[in-house]
Amino acid sequence: RGFCGPHGQPPPLLDPQDIVATWEAISLGRQPVPEYFNFAHDVLDMWSQLEKAGHRPPIPAFWWVNGTGAEVKWNFEQLGQQSRRAANVLRDTCSLQPGDRMMLVLPRLPEWWLVSVACIRTGVVMIPGVSQLTEKDLKYRLQASRAKSIITSDSLAPRVDAISADCPSLQTKLLVSDSSRPGWMNFRELLREASTEHNCVRTKSQDPLAIYFTSGTTGAPKMVEHSQASYGLGFVASGRHWVDLTKSDIFWNTSDTGWVKAAWTLFSAWPNGSCIFVHELPRVDAKVILNTLSSFPITTLCCVPTIFRLLVQEDLTRYQFQSLRHCLTGGEALNPDVREKWKSQVGLELHEGYGQSETVVICANSKGMKIKSGSMGKASPPYDVQIVDDEGNILSPGEEGNVAVRVRPARPFCFFSCYLDNPEKTEASERGDFYITGDRAHKDKDGYFWFMGRNDDVINSSSYRIGPVEVESALAEHPAVLEAAVVSSPDPIRGEVVKAFIVLSPTYSSQDPEKLTRELQEHVKRVTAPYKYPRKVTFVSELPKTVSGKIQRSKLRSQEWGETRGSPRK
């Protein structure tokens, strides 16, 4: 038996609230994970039935716009049909079998969502990648994952061609384009010709669903494998409580399709019956985002802090957002100043969440919960999240240590299976009964977690431990600062000192740098403990970032310490 009904037959029609409640109970760890689970069959096809029976408001399940007039709207039934066609293309044209791997490197085009669902229907393991990948990045990923197929768009196809001779596992290449290219099959044409009849494969909950390469903020990206249940069921509860999704919601997450946050959205929105809204957003533009929120009935918005930092630079009072009622952020630390500016101008709270490619949501500020500015919220069930020392012993409230998730006696079902082909790394990520995230924080007596920094980013100056985020947030409160990155820098007396790299707001860039440096140093001493102030300050035009928008402090650190000497903790 499948989860919601015999496989290959229409699932029995239940009350939508009962169904979502069952998924939520599993997601929270209160009910066992079924032996067999397939998101396409058990969740999407179920919503298709519910929709037909009138259990959903008449909003699409998927709504895509490109900003220049093109629009795609699918309800669950149409999404089902299109994704079955796509599944037939993968199975019949590309000869992909369950367990085979496929890379998806697409801009925010509807085909990304179709092919993701088609992978689930066929049991093919999806490997999303961001569109900025270079030839070298593509080669590394295709070789490491031994992907048999890739789907991409015109802009990336030449890069794939340049390296595909070095990737012997790669057998088929699919192009999402209105034109043709030698050596490539045209996905749109194949899709039009394919049948809408397809029998979803039967997958066990533990079968692999996706492989993600981490963002590579701290080094070479690692391959993280997630199971069908880990992603397929792991986001239902956080989708309900953190993202606050219902079947009437329209959820826009501006994330690139290659980053885990796009999958988090897919797997939190659809089980809750919500609509996924997508803007093609060829480049991040604050005005386009604000106009889109004003023109479409989007209820729920998620952006990385980098984007919110840009949005609050605009005069937000000039916009009237049609239906917006809930806002989220995550992926890096949110500066309290940005949250306050958003809240005062838009009238909505920013709910920060914390997680990794290896996990689902670890901590969150759920809807309705009291928010403590600067905290990333409380542990998100079913995770038991603790602050532990390097041996895996639980520390007391207020003590700084490793953010850790309990994996013994039982590993949560919504957790990565392993670092692929790297058992040493998988093993090294555990201490005692815990998985060690690599992030440092403390927990207060009310159970709120306060992020300090990645392990390598914490600065040790004259035996004071300083988290970069706190200093960056203090700097961000000054009107001259657009954004800042804080790292350690060598010092003959103190060993290391705090150094800030600062991008100035345009109106301040003409000022005397020495005077501004002193002003910023005094400002930090005023708003946080004085020992944290940056003894060194450099003004830069931009900060090094990953393609997902995260500040790469490790790059700045190596610059300071010199590649050969390395920083003291490397």
Residues that bind ligand ATP (CB under 6 A): 214-219, 221-222, 260, 330-333, 352, 354, 356-357, 376, 437-439, 451, 454, 550
Letters for 173-212 (x = contact with Mg ion by CB under 5 A, - = none) are ----------------------------------------
Q: Taking the alpha carbons of 301, 307, 312, 317 in that order, is the dihedral positive or negative? A: negative
Measured between alpha carbons, how far is 275 from 252 in angstroms, rounded to an integer? 9
> What are 238's two structure tokens?
């956080």
Which listed option, ligand ATP, Mg ion, none, makes contact with residue 549 (CB within 5 to 8 Å by class)? Answer: none
Give least dist CB 465 to ligand ATP, A: 17
Q: Closer to ligand ATP at the Cβ: 45 or 439?
A: 439
Whichever of 227 and 375 has its CB closer to ligand ATP, that residue is 375
* 376 interacts with, out of Mg ion, ligand ATP, none, CB within 5 to 8 A per kind: ligand ATP
Q: Least distance (Å) from ligand ATP to the CB of residue 419?
A: 10
Report the relative pairing of strands 275-279 and 300-303 from DSSP bridges. unpaired
Cis omega before residue 98 (within 30°)?
no
Residues paired with 464 in a beta bridge:
461
Pairing state between β 448-454 and 71-74: unpaired
**Owner of token pair 């009437």:** 248
C-alpha distances (whole Å) from 478 to each of 53, 57, 129, 373 are 55, 46, 36, 17
The least distance separating Mg ion from the CB of residue 214, rounded to whole angstroms, comes to: 5
Work out what residue 137 binds among ligand ATP, Mg ion, none; the CB cut-off runs from 5 to 8 Å by kind: none
Q: State residue 363 phi and psi, 5-degree precision.
A: -135, 150
Q: Which is nearer to ligand ATP, 239 or 331 (CB)?
A: 331
CA 423 to each of CA 50, 141, 143, 224: distance values in angstroms, whole numbers, following the listed order: 43, 18, 18, 12
Q: Beta strands of 444-526 (E only): which ranges?
A: 448-454, 459-461, 464-466, 481-491, 495-504
129 versus 331: smaller Cβ distance to ligand ATP: 331
The count of chain residues that interact with Mg ion, using the rule CB under 5 A, is 1
* 214 versus 461: smaller Cβ distance to Mg ion: 214
CA–CA separation, 74 and 112 (whole Å): 14
Q: How far is the CB of 358 from Mg ion (least distance, A)?
A: 7
Nearer to ligand ATP, 139 or 226 (CB): 226
Strand partners, 460: 465
Least Cβ distance, residue 27 to Mg ion (angstroms): 23
Which residue, among 255, 260, 291, 304, has the nearest Cα to 276 in the 3D structure?
255
Minimum CB separation from ligand ATP for residue 206, in Å? 22
Instruction: Looking at 480-535, list the stretches that DSSP marks H as alpha helix, in order from N- to C-terminal side.
Output: 513-527
Nearest to 153 by CA among 294, 8, 258: 258
Residue 330 binds which of Mg ion, ligand ATP, none (CB < 5-8 A, kind-dependent): ligand ATP
Q: How far is the CB of 420 from Mg ion (least distance, A)?
A: 15
Are 216 and 546 within 8 A, CB to CB? yes
The CB-side HSE value for 383 (13 A sphere, CA atoms) comes to 30
Residue 439's binding partner among Mg ion, ligand ATP, none (Cβ under 5 to 8 angstroms by kind) is: ligand ATP
Cβ at position 450, least distance to ligand ATP in Å: 10
Residue 294 or residue 422: which is nearer to ligand ATP going by CB?
Answer: 422
Q: Which is nearer to ligand ATP, 59 or 551 (CB)?
A: 551
* Complex with ligand ATP: residue 52 or 425, whichever CB lies closer: 425
Closest approach, Cβ 10 to Mg ion, in A, equals 41
Task: Identify what 557 binds: ligand ATP, Mg ion, none; CB under 5 to 8 Å per kind.
Answer: none
- Segment 212 to 231, residues that bind Mg ion, using CB under 5 A: 214
Closest residue by beta carbon to Mg ion: 214
| Token representation of residue 102 | 């496929």
Cis omega (within 30 of 0) for bond into 16: no
Give contact residues for Mg ion (rule: CB under 5 A): 214
